[in-house]
Structure 1
Amino acid sequence: MSPVALPSHSVAVLYGPKDLRVEQRSVWPPSQNQAQVAVVSTGLCGSDLHYYMHGRNGDFAVRAPLVLGHEAAGIVTAVGPGVKHLVPGQRVAIEAGIYCRTCDFCTKGRYNLCKSMRFCSSAAVFPHADGTLQGRMNHPSFVLHPLPDNCSFEQAALAEPLSVLIHASRRANLSSGQSVLVYGVGAIGLLACAVANSLGASRVVAIDINQTRLDFARVNGFASQTFCLPPADRAKTTDEQLRRAKENSQAALAEFGSSAGFDVVFECTGAEPVIQMSVHTAIAGGKVMLIGMGTRNVVLPLSTAALREVDIQGSFRYANTYPAALALLASGKLKNIEKLITHRFPLQETKRGFDLLSRGQDEDGNMVLKVMIESS
């Protein structure tokens, strides 16, 4: 089919640091086992912001124009040959990771570790796989998930970050009656609080360096109690940093009235001093879940973890979580979850959305948590 005969759609394309352009591209029909989705809502993520600001996310540099966005939902507009479970007009959430389904990790249900994973909006592989900041998107049908009737497109876009916390909670075996401490109350940390509450945690508390975010978490029922870490100069030595981490941990536990620590600690910042604190604030026999990514190599108080049998576990993306995430979003159990979405922009103003997210505060002084881009 000649591109001349094809309709066009708008696409937000990243060419380099802060060089994001909205272009017109042809809309091709879906291929075998693909469905075409009219993207309605896309949430901007911290990894998207790293690409926008720096042209890279950690080791992964943008090597060709890339469409960002991977927290999304939309409407099926066409299906390719072989697609049986979806029909045009159906509302779906878009799971961005395309895995091989044949390797050992995939067949064992741990497809988030698939070595052949192509994650939309990531520069980890080349050629890059474009993300969801576009009007139409052809995507494998096996990673498109029908929405419950009472789940909105914006809620469904939150299924992606929510899946991160569902996966982490499963790895931690988080269960009713356990106490939970969350470090960092950005969107991911607030979702960690929400998931813990939905699972019946006996107590959910939070620590951050931003009092405004902590107030938001407490007022809206995400955390019952909060602690704001005091500002401090950067430690000059590793020993000093480890000492401070222990002292700050003791101060936080005293504030919470829980000297023994917490059953499960979700570390959502990726900051080395906070990762160190997480070991000290877990109860003996407890678990630390490392969710935030930001420090490549971390010095840890491993002897403290070993002697107190504190398990330190990593958690990377998610696997087999979307149905549970969508059901939870539709259930009404995630109190005030819609308040995470603080700002909205049309696709044509995606650059404004990223600039606002980078500042963390709008022109009126309001906090920025989750920015949503509306494509349709």
Structure 2
Amino acid sequence: MTVTLSCKIHAAKDLRLESEGEAGLAPHEVEVALGAAGICGSDLHYYFHGRAGAFEIREPLTPGHEAAGVVRRTGSAVKGVAPGQKVAVNPSHACHVCRYCREGRENLCSSMRFLGSASIYPHVQGMFRESFVVAESQLTPVNADISFGELAFAEPLAVALHAVNRSGPLLGKSVLVTGAGTIGCLIVMAARLAGAKEIISCDIADHPLQVARQAGATQTLRSDRLTGKELSDIADICIEAAGSKEALATCLQAARRGGRIVQVGTLSAEGLQFPANSVMARELDYVGAFRFGVEFDWAVNYLVSKRIDVKPLLTAQLPLRDAVAAFTLAADKSRSTKVQLTGEAAIM
């Protein structure tokens, strides 16, 4: 029997490398050998805190929801991919029958199974392992010359594209993005693709802002060093991608009258005060952007066609066995933007 190595988080700061036996395949399932998988903010929360927002680890969890790899085995009814084929992996497995799926909003599926998430119990195990089994419908075959590292950005890029999609038309508009991490920088790239005239990136640290400039921001601001007056009424669209109440406050102040605020980051409910009267009096649109839908296919296309270059965001790749070191580096925003774990497919 083939044995595969898997990262398992048992509790806060308790990550173990464990061996798993070969999984069986249902007719429409595919086994994928890991090429590269990015460490996301939610993965960091699971590792350092044992929870991500309201989702608490209740059994050992293999995190990881942004990955690319190579098909190893296929179920008897699989026709769209074959062993040896490079694939991007969509972590969303929607039911396709609930009202939200039928309305074309699969990201809001009432029965969503999202890889590497503790949102339901038993948890949906993720892709920080040497190989994993997913439904054929979650795979996008790729025949182009693109690295696993670049292709693994399809998931976070899809999040960014969905955020920009929720922003409305951006042609000729000014856009402010709070947070210059991976998602924030990818939103900068997506806003450029959508025709934004000016893209302002805000953060409270210098290294992320340097990366944001490489991503295409026309202006970068240390929001912790500015007065409220300097931030007032400077953008048509404000996108909150930092996941902090201070960043949301920046968006609420920076949005022009009649503007729109898009919340992408997950905020702590503790101490959150919302200026509803300001939203009313200035006629601000306030919308959420959660995960993605069809944008995953768009993301793969933009990466493969080189219309978006994510290489400036990739800080480091470490082998799966060095997962703890990778998590530590990924948490240090003074040194890293995106850190990935690599598997056996990366050296095939």
The TM-score bracket by the shorter chain reads over 0.9
The alpha-carbon distance between structure 1 residues 200 and 51, as it changes in their structure 2 partners (threshold 3 A), is same
Cα deviation, residue 221, structure 1? 4.5
Question: Is it true that 1:227 corresponds to 2:255 in the alignment?
Answer: no
CA distance in 1, matches of 2:238, 2:205: 19
Indicate if the aligned counterparts of 1:174 and 1:196 stay in contact, CA closer than 8 A: no
Per-residue displacement from partner, 1:294-331 (whole Å, max 9, x unpaired)? 22263222222222221010111111111100111122
Distance in 1 (CA, whole Å) between partners of 2:39 and 2:25 is 25
TM-score, normalised with respect to structure 2 = 0.94
Aligned to 2:161: 166
In the aligned structure 2, how far is the partner of 1:58 from the partner of 1:154?
27
CA 1:267–1:288 in structure 2 vs 1: closer, same or farther (change >3 Å)?
same
Do 1:96 and 1:120's aligned partners in 2 also have CA atoms closer than 8 Å? Answer: yes
RMSD: 1.6
Q: Secondary structure at the match of 2:224?
A: coil
Equivalent in 299, 308, 313 of residue 282 of structure 2: 308
The equivalent position to 2:26 in structure 1, one of 28, 31, 35, is 31
**2:316 aligned to 305, 330, 343, which one?**
343
Give the unaligned 5+ runs of structure 2: none
Counterpart selection for 2:244 from 263, 266, 271: 271
- Runs ≥4 in structure 1, deviation > 3 angstroms? none
Corresponding residue for residue 289 of structure 1: 262
Contact (CA 8 Å) 1:182, 1:192: kept in 2 or not?
yes
What is the match of residue 273 of structure 2? 299
Aligned to 1:67, the other structure's residue is in SS state: coil
Q: CA offsets per residue over residues 159-178 of structure 1, 9 Å max, x none?
A: 11111111111111233222
Mapped to 1, the partners of 2:296 and 2:189 lie a distance apart of: 16
Q: 1:103-122 maps to which residues of 2 (within 5 A)?
A: 103-122=98-117
Cα deviation for residue 39 of structure 1 reads 1.2
Secondary structure, counterpart of 1:100 in structure 2? coil
Aligned to 1:371: 339
Rg larger in 1 or in 2? 1
Contact preservation (8 Å) 1:248, 1:277: no
Q: Distance in 2 between matches of 1:221 and 1:322?
A: 20
Q: Which amino acid aligns with 1:301?
A: P
- Give identity over the alignment, percent: 34
- Matched AA of 2:217: A
Unaligned runs of 5+ in 1: 1-5, 232-246, 254-259, 362-366
Please say if residues 215 and 312 of structure 2, whose CA atoms lie closer than 8 Å, have aligned partners that are also in contact: no
Write the letter of the residue equivalent to 2:183.
I
- How many residue pairs were aligned? 343
CA distance in 2, matches of 1:28, 1:121: 17
8 Å CA contact retained: 1:291, 1:314: yes
Matched, 1:211 2:190: no
SS of the counterpart of 1:10?
A: strand
State whether structure 2 residue 232 is matched by structure 1 residue 250.
Answer: no
Q: Quote how far apart the aligned CAs of 1:333 are.
A: 2.5
Deviations 1:154-200 (A, max 9, x none): 11111111111111111112332221111110111101101111122
Task: Output one character per residue of 1:197-223: Cα deviation in whole Å (capped at 9) or x when no partner.
Answer: 1122111111111123213322x1421
